[in-house]
Amino acid sequence: KAGVTQTPRYLIKTRGQQVTLSCSPISGHRSVSWYQQTPGQGLQFLFEYFSETQRNKGNFPGRFSGRQFSNSRSEMNVSTLELGDSALYLCASSLRPENTEAFFGQGTRLTVV
Amino acid sequence: AQTVTQSQPEMSVQEAETVTLSCTYDTSESDYYLFWYKQPPSRQMILVIRQEAYKQQNATENRFSVNFQKAAKSFSLKISDSQLGDAAMYFCAYRSPRAGGGADGLTFGKGTHLIIQP
């Protein structure tokens, strides 16, 4: 059974640009969560999607957005990139929101220059 | 909002020895879930062990066990017979019982870097 797949693995963008990251959950999993990991702030919850609906959102500006498709794949978008957006972005999937066991992908390393 | 604190930025242990990683948390909820995740250099977060707050029995997974002290809001991880493959960052995490974990999802500590000395 394939795990959580995140693409791309690495990304370099310029300040002011926008970026889209993709996450394909484990087959059958319908809940997808996103986290930002930085050396300074650690791991922070961005948002969670289930059945194409955003259920929860962390404390991030509106430049951070996401969506989920009918096949449960999810994308997150960051507009008007800032240097501080450089981070490892991790995606986690679970069967449903109430399932506590979340499986993580290997992340996308975003560097903003 | 809940907070999770890991007071040991780095720990070192000899191979085959036992090591305990500390974690404390703060919450006003009576029911919740606690986790230990491992993040090796590959960066993928791997679930090590999970504890439901309503269960008094400490969770155990092979060489990994926890000491869950609900009143003290403490959740330490004990790794027995440490192996070189255990070297990684270890994160303690909290999750609300509400579906999806509520507005905070998983709340993580800052992590402990575990070094295994051969």
Q: Across the interface, do A106 and B44 touch by the CB < 8 Å criterion? A: yes
The whole-number pLDDT of residue B100 equals 53
What share of chain B has pLDDT > 90, as a percent? 78
> Residue B36 pairs with which residues in a beta bridge?
B49, B92
B51: confidence class by pLDDT, cuts 50, 70, 90: very high
Average pLDDT over residues B63-89: 97
The whole-number pLDDT of residue A97 equals 74
Residues in chain A whose Cβ is within 8 Å of chain B: 31, 33, 35, 42-45, 48, 50, 55-58, 88, 90, 92, 96-98, 100-107, 109
The mean pLDDT value of chain B amounts to 92
- Of B37, B42, B103, nearest to A56 by CB-CB distance is B103
Higher model confidence: residue A101 or residue B50?
B50
B102: confidence class by pLDDT, cuts 50, 70, 90: low
Average pLDDT over residues A50-71: 93
Q: Across the interface, do A31 and B100 touch by the CB < 8 Å criterion? A: yes
The whole-number pLDDT of residue B98 equals 67
Q: Indicate the pairing of strand B10-14 with strand B112-117.
A: parallel
Distance (Å, whole) CA A41 – CA B9? 14
Distance (Å, whole) CA B105 – CA A24? 19
The whole-number pLDDT of residue B40 equals 94
Average pLDDT over residues B25-41: 93
Q: Is the pLDDT of residue A87 over 80?
A: yes
Instruction: Using an 8 Å CB-CB cutoff, list chain A residues near B100.
Output: 31, 33, 48, 50, 55-56, 97-98
Asked if B44 reaches chain A (Cβ–Cβ under 8 Å), the answer is yes
B104: confidence class by pLDDT, cuts 50, 70, 90: low
Q: Across the interface, do B47 and A101 touch by the CB < 8 Å criterion? A: yes
> What do you get for the CA distance between the two ends of chain A, in Å?
37
The whole-number pLDDT of residue B105 equals 81
Instruction: Using an 8 Å CB-CB cutoff, list chain A residues near B109.
Output: 42
Q: Indicate the pairing of strand A42-50 with strand B10-14.
A: unpaired
Closest CA to B4 of B27, B30, B24: B24
